[in-house]
Amino acid sequence: MKSDYQADIDAIGNIDSVPTILDVVCRTTGMGFAAVARVTDSRWIACSVLDHIAFGLQPGGELQVETTICHEIRQSGEPVIINNVADDPVFCGHPTPAMYGFQSYISMPIVRKDGSFFGTLCAIDPKPARLKDPEIVGMFRLFAELIAAHLDSIDQIAISEQLLARERAFGAMREKFIAVLGHDLRNPLASVVSGTKMLMRKHEAEPDSRRILLLMQGSLLRMRGLVDNIADFARSRLGGGLTLDLEADVHLERTLDQVVDELRAAHPDRSIVAEFSLDEAVPVDHGRVAQLLSNLIGNALSYGDADKPVRVSAKADKAGFELAVENGGAPVPTETLATLFEPFARGEGDRNGEGLGLGLFIASEIAKAHGGTLTATSGAGVTRFVFDMPAP
Amino acid sequence: MTSHPAAKILIVEDEPLIRMDLADMLEKLGYSVLEAANADEAIAILESEPAVTAVVTDVDMPGTMDGLALTFVVRNRWPPCHLIVVSGHRRPNTGNMPAGSRFIRKPLGTSDLQRTLAELGVAV
């Protein structure tokens, strides 16, 4: 039958060291009964018991609290130590020793961090015992403090776990929100892009309009990249992996050209040189490879020297597929190179503090999803990113 | 030189600017264009317009059915009509599109449309 104090009994029961404590207590003092008791103003409940004298108390078993000395300890907050009841000036006439049949007694209060009284660590024996030694008292005090510290830790952990569970729930909700937002932003973005394309066709002959529209398209391209990367990142955090839609299409060059053209149009002041030699049809997800290439070129434009060209090359043969993006500039330090593909990693000297630092992370995830690798090397004025996908 | 009316293509797309852009591209290629904002409008147009040569439809749209379901309805009721599905999402599995239909991934350009229509033999 469960006690209404079952939680406390279980808490003490779950502390692995309590049985050892009770054992050491009995061995050190030579006494035959030791226990951890929960003591309130109206109850005395055994939580853990070591009984060599057939005292007959089990965990959950209770004594009438007014008949125990623990009751008085609860009031005073001080330990009670009796070497020999018969010789003790305070306790030789006390009813409790006679009632429970003990001659020696020690009980140490267990006090929680918040000052509340939990109960006692106590021991009794029908024979007298040497208890008033500093080593014995010190040991009891230490053990009582240990038990209190354990109980406090258990409570603290429970609180922390609750907070963690709540944070996790909020976190998952946030990620879902971002993933949905990213998805929902795509259509309106595509809509505005369509609008600029139509206006571009209508106003082909007007340089001012063209310029404005090109700049708009550049911004839209940046937005699309941000939306794609953040939506993918949120989805990956929710546990959704990158699913690929593979097509072994000879039109891969067209996909790569489109990405290069888009970025050229968005950065008319920069030189992007492309060289493709795709001799074999490669099974890749075109949309994802386009995203990877866009992220790599975007990165090269952000961190490379503005007066040096960004070089894009792609090669597809029997050995596999290789896509490389190079930019000129100061070498990337080795420590930075190692962390480049982590989410939210930012390179040094970023232009205007923009960017989520997700582009390279997403690119490396796309590479991995294709069974390939994305590596970076830097030196002698050139930084090179290579997506290498070996033939299956 | 005999002139003949341009082949009619029905565009089904709920986002107005994207629909306009598709119409614009197809008209520049020389086709005659009809527009619908969803599957129900598309079916109404097909019921009243003779000889629509091809349907170009988006996938995600409000209404009684999405673009993929529409392609099956069109194939069932107007078998000679060519079908092109456009979408920003993954290509549907082969079983989820009628035989002989085509898929173009968004964002798409005039050349993508031209090439696909040529593959299907849809002349202007």
Contact B105 A195 (CB under 8 A): no
Q: Using DSSP bridges, classify how beta strands A246-249 and A282-285 pair: parallel, antiparallel or unpaired.
A: antiparallel
Pick A190's closest partner by Cβ from B18, B90, B91.
B18
CB A36, CB A12: distance < 8 Å: yes
Q: Which residues of B fall within a CB distance of 8 Å from A192?
A: 17
pLDDT number for residue A134? 94
What's the gap in Å between the CA of B53 and the closest CA on chain A? 24
Domain B8-120: give its CATH code: 3.40.50.2300
Contact B105 A286 (CB under 8 A): yes
What string of H, E and C letters represents the secondary structure of chain A?
A: CCCCCHHHHHHHHCCCHHHHHHHHHHHHHCCCEEEEEEECCCCEEEEEEEECCCCCCCCCCEECHHHCCHHHHHHHCCCEEECCHHHCCCCCCCHHHHHHCCCEEEEEEEECCCCCEEEEEEEEECCCCCCCCHHHHHHHHHHHHHHHHHHHHHHHHHHHHHHHHHHHHHHHHHHHHHHHHHHHHHHHHHHHHHHHHHHHHHCCCCHHHHHHHHHHHHHHHHHHHHHHHHHHHHHHHCCCCCCCCEEEECCHHHHHHHHHHHHHHHCCCCCEEEEEEECCCEEEEHHHHHHHHHHHHHHHHHHCCCCCCEEEEEEEECCEEEEEEEEECCCCCHHHHHHCCCCCCCCCCCCCCCCCCCHHHHHHHHHHHCCCEEEEEEECCEEEEEEEEECC
Task: List the one residue out of B86, B91, B57 whose CA is nearest residue B72.
Answer: B57
pLDDT in tens, B28-71: 999 999 999 999 999 999 999 989 999 999 999 999 999 999 99
Pick A190's closest partner by Cβ from B90, B107, B109.
B107
Q: Using DSSP bridges, classify how beta strands A117-125 and A104-111 pair: parallel, antiparallel or unpaired.
A: antiparallel
Distances from the Cα of B111 to the Cα of A38, A102, A254, B25, B117, angstroms: 83, 101, 11, 9, 10
pLDDT of B5 strictly over 90: no
CB A8, CB A38: distance < 8 Å: yes
Counting one residue from chain A and one from chain B, the pairs whose CB atoms sit within 8 A come to 39
Amino acid letter for position A319: A
CB A359, CB A295: distance < 8 Å: yes
pLDDT in tens, B71-104: 999 999 999 999 999 988 777 777 789 999 999 9
CB A278, CB A254: distance < 8 Å: no
pLDDT number for residue A83? 94
Does A287 contact chain B (CB < 8 Å)? yes
Pick B88's closest partner by Cβ from A190, A195, A286.
A190
Does B118 contact chain A (CB < 8 Å)? no
Does A180 contact chain B (CB < 8 Å)? no
User: DSSP class of residue B75?
Assistant: H
Tokens, residue B74: 């069109």
pLDDT number for residue A179? 84
pLDDT number for residue A351? 42
Residue B72: strand, helix, or coil: helix
- Which domains, ranges and CATH numbers included, belong to chain A? 6-132 (3.30.450.40), 163-241 (1.10.287), 243-392 (3.30.565.10)
CB A81, CB A137: distance < 8 Å: yes
Task: List the one residue out of A380, A271, A280, A373 whose CA is nearest residue A332.
Answer: A380
Could you give the CA distance from residue B14 to residue B107 in angstroms, rounded to a whole number?
Answer: 15
Burial class (CB in 10 A: 0-12, 13-18, 19+), A154: middle
What's the gap in Å between the CA of B29 and the closest CA on chain A? 13
pLDDT number for residue A275? 96
Residue B102: strand, helix, or coil: strand
pLDDT number for residue A250? 62
pLDDT number for residue A203? 94
Could you give the CA distance from residue A202 to residue A199 in angstroms, rounded to a whole number?
Answer: 5
Going residue by residue through chain A (392 aa), what tens digit of pLDDT does each one get? 677 899 999 999 999 999 999 999 999 999 999 999 999 999 999 999 999 999 999 999 999 988 899 988 998 999 999 999 999 998 988 999 989 999 999 999 999 999 999 999 999 999 999 999 999 999 999 999 999 999 999 999 999 999 999 999 998 888 888 888 888 898 899 999 999 999 999 998 999 999 999 999 999 998 998 888 888 888 777 776 787 878 776 688 988 999 999 999 889 899 999 999 998 888 898 889 999 999 999 999 988 999 999 999 999 998 999 999 999 998 888 888 888 888 877 654 444 445 667 889 999 999 999 999 999 999 889 999 999 999 87
C-alpha angle B88/B108/B11, rounded to 5°? 85
Residues 43-62 of B with CB under 8 A from A: 60
Could you give the CA distance from residue A310 to residue A271 in angstroms, rounded to a whole number?
Answer: 6
First to last CA, chain B: 15
Contact B107 A193 (CB under 8 A): yes
Amino acid letter for position A115: G
